[in-house]
Amino acid sequence: MTDYSTLMPGDAVVALRTLPRRVNAALGIVDEVTEGRAHQLGADGVSAIEAILGATATLAVLEKGLSDVSILDDAPLHPAVTNRRLRSIELSTNEPSEAVLEQFTERVTAVADLADSIEGKDWSRTGVVADVRISALDLLRDAVEVGVEALTQVERIIASLR
């Protein structure tokens, strides 16, 4: 497991910006067979498309938290920011992989663009979930972790189906 605790904002932005290309390459969509594989359940009961959709939804929660923290001290944050179990959502897996990848790309780009707009001391600004404080930098690090975990999951699922 990778330690994201030392990841700095510039490196996190670079990592986020590379994720769409890397996820697209992992899916390897070129024809109907590989499109079908992207929707097929892997050994853990999740398809590659579901993994990407789940990451996209989680990134939306983290983006909202990062946005709130970047403009307001002690911003109240959604509990899903710190509790992964609250991030589960109903997923519509009927969408073509191209549309799912587009949504993922838009969300990752939005988080990276937001991160680019945050400067210096604003990275230490915190939001609050219950009694837990989480910094803007920690939210960004979580976003990178979610994206990389989705990429790893997609790679694992696709490899298991070949």
Domain boundaries, the chain: 9-161
Determine contact, residues 66/114, Cβ cutoff 8 Å: yes
Structure tokens at 76: 């109240």
What is the model's pLDDT at position 90? 60
What is the model's pLDDT at position 62? 95
Residue 148 neighbours by CB distance under 10 Å: 18
What residues of the chain score a pLDDT lower than 50? none
CATH topology of domain 9-161: Four Helix Bundle (Hemerythrin (Met), subunit A) (1.20.120)
Q: What is the largest CA-CA distance in the chain?
A: 50
Q: Convert the pLDDT of each residue in 118-146 to its tens digit.
A: 999 999 999 999 889 999 999 999 999 99
Report strand pairing: 126-129 vs 75-76: parallel
